[in-house]
Amino acid sequence: MPDQFAIPPRILSNGRLATVEQGSDQEIAQRVNIICRTPPGWLDGRPTFGLQDDTFRDNGADVVEVERQIRALGPDVYARVTEDPSLLDEGLDQIDLQVGAAQ
């Protein structure tokens, strides 16, 4: 498959931009990273792309929405999203994302 630019962009020692293979686990992880860091409404024409900042959301992060956004990337993406709410009383929430190319 063709290569795509690595995100975040970085320049290699030979002066070229780093790339990742399209459809690889690394490229899919980059796409998920972009979803997680982009607030909804930030991209023109894609008002539902991205995730709300759930920092002060009651009962922790919206795991269903996180999984929905990742699954919208396409059938080539494997995703498992789990949450550990055991520290919610202390104001902490942890989401475990395991993503990669679907087999």
**Strand, helix or coil at 73?**
coil
The pLDDT score that the predictor gives to residue 9 is 92
The pLDDT score that the predictor gives to residue 88 is 67
Phi and psi (nearest 5°) for 24?
-80, 165
**Strand, helix or coil at 66?**
helix
Using CA of residue 94, residue 54, residue 102, residue 7, what is the dihedral sign? negative
pLDDT along the chain (103 residues), means of 10: 86 95 90 89 89 80 87 86 76 79 81
Q: Which two tokens stand for residue 101?
A: 């190319």
The pLDDT score that the predictor gives to residue 103 is 74
The pLDDT score that the predictor gives to residue 58 is 77
The pLDDT score that the predictor gives to residue 6 is 92
The pLDDT score that the predictor gives to residue 39 is 92
